[in-house]
Amino acid sequence: MTPRFLKFGMLACAAVAVACTGSIDGTEGNGPGTTPGNGLMPDGTQTGGPPASPDAIAIKDRAQGKLNLGGSPKFFRVFRLTNEQWTNSVQTVLGLGAPPTLAEDFQTSVSGLTDFSNNETALADIDNRGWSDYQGAAEALAAQVTSDAAQLSKLYAGTDGAGFIAAVGRRVYRRPLAAAEVAAYQKLFDSGATLSGTRSAFAKGASVVLEAMLQSPYFLYRTELGAVGAPLSAYEMAAKLSLWLRNTTPDDALLDAAAGPAKLDSAEGAAAMAQKMLDETSAKAVMRRFHGEWLSFAKFAQLGKAGVPTYDPKINSELAESSYLFFDRIFSQGLGVKDIFTSTTGFVGPTMAALYGGDAAPVSGFAERDLGPTRAGYFQQLPFLVLYGRNAQPDSIHRGVTMSMQVLCAPLGFFVGEIPPLPDFKPHETNRMRVDAHTNGCGTVCHNNMINPLGFAFEHFDGMGQYRDTETNMGEVLPIDSSGSFTFVDGAKPYNNSADLMQVLAADDQAHLCYAKKLASFGLQRDMIEADLPLLAELASVSGVGNGSVKDVMLDLVKQDAFRVRSGGAQ
How do residues 366-384 score in pLDDT, each as one tens digit? 999 999 999 999 999 999 9
pLDDT band at 39 (very low <50, low <70, confident <90, very high): very low
pLDDT band at 467 (very low <50, low <70, confident <90, very high): very high
pLDDT at 107: 85
Residue 153 and residue 94 share a domain? yes
Cα 20-22-23 angle, rounded to 5 deg: 100
Name the domain boundary from 223, 253, 283.
Answer: 223
Mean pLDDT of 312-328: 98
Q: How many structural domains compose the chain?
A: 2
Does residue 166 sit within a domain?
A: yes
Of the two residues 131 and 450, the one the predictor is more confident about is: 131
Mean pLDDT of 25-30: 34
Residue 310 and residue 219 share a domain? no
The helix (H) or strand (E) run that includes residue 367 is strand 367-370
pLDDT band at 420 (very low <50, low <70, confident <90, very high): confident
Mean pLDDT of 263-287: 97
Residue 210: phi, psi to the nearest 5? -65, -40
Residue 543 and residue 453 share a domain? yes
Does residue 317 sit within a domain?
A: yes
Mean pLDDT, the chain, whole residue set: 89
How do residues 55-109 score in pLDDT, each as one tens digit? 999 999 999 999 999 999 999 999 999 999 999 999 999 999 999 999 999 988 7
Residue 146 lies in domain: 4-30+78-223
Does residue 239 sit within a domain?
A: no
Residue 305 and residue 183 share a domain? no
CA separation for the pair 90, 171 (Å, rounded): 10
Residue 329 and residue 450 share a domain? yes
Pairing between β-strand 221-223 and β-strand 491-495 as defined by DSSP bridges: unpaired
CA separation for the pair 20, 17 (Å, rounded): 6
Residue 296 and residue 202 share a domain? no
Residue 184 and residue 106 share a domain? yes
Mean pLDDT of 6-14: 33
Residue 90 and residue 69 share a domain? no
Residue 352 and residue 370 share a domain? yes
Does residue 231 sit within a domain?
A: no
Name the domain boundary from 163, 190, 223.
Answer: 223
Contact 123, 222 (CB under 8 A): no
Mean pLDDT of 533-544: 98
Mean pLDDT of 333-361: 96
Mean pLDDT of 401-413: 92
pLDDT band at 201 (very low <50, low <70, confident <90, very high): very high
Mean pLDDT of 443-454: 73
Pairing between β-strand 345-348 and β-strand 221-223 as defined by DSSP bridges: unpaired
pLDDT band at 239 (very low <50, low <70, confident <90, very high): very high
Does residue 427 sit within a domain?
A: yes
Mean pLDDT of 158-163: 97
Strand partners, 479: 470
Does residue 250 sit within a domain?
A: no
Of the two residues 454 and 17, the one the predictor is more confident about is: 454
Does residue 199 sit within a domain?
A: yes
Does residue 255 sit within a domain?
A: no
Residue 72 and residue 18 share a domain? no
